[in-house]
Amino acid sequence: MKFWYDEIWAEEIGGSSFSEIRTVNIPSNRVLVSCALQQVNRQGGDGKAKMSITQYLQNGDPHEGSGQMVHGNGITSVNFALSVNNARAQGTGLIQTV
């Protein structure tokens, strides 16, 4: 088993939503992908942050959504998104292959 992780930082203090997106190409196609929000520092009264898997490529077909975990065969690419509004945040995407 091998694994990779990617830390993502994003900051927005103007009241508009902002997303930092990372695309990771996966060298093995049998995977478990997960993500987690690590820390949030509010920069305003209504500071928010969300970490999610927004898209992945499986057997050549794109799948979109907003989940925390994806697993299966034939997955070759995944997009992680850290979205913030009036906040500074850090999230981590983790990929495990068999």
The distance of Cα 81 from the centroid of its chain, to the nearest Å, equals 4
- Per-residue pLDDT tens over the stretch 59-93: 999 999 999 999 999 999 999 999 999 999 999 99
Contact status, residue 82 vs residue 19, Cβ threshold 8 Å: yes
- Per the confidence metrics, is the pTM higher than 0.85? yes
Distance CA 54, CA 2 (A): 23
- Per-residue pLDDT tens over the stretch 5-64: 889 999 998 888 999 999 999 888 789 999 999 999 988 778 899 999 999 999 999 999
Distance CA 32, CA 51 (A): 16
Q: Which of 64, 1, 81, 68 is nearest to 33 (CA)?
A: 68
**pLDDT, position 21:** 94
* 2-97: CATH, from 3.20.20, 3.30.450, 2.60.120, 2.20.25: 2.60.120
**pLDDT, position 2:** 86
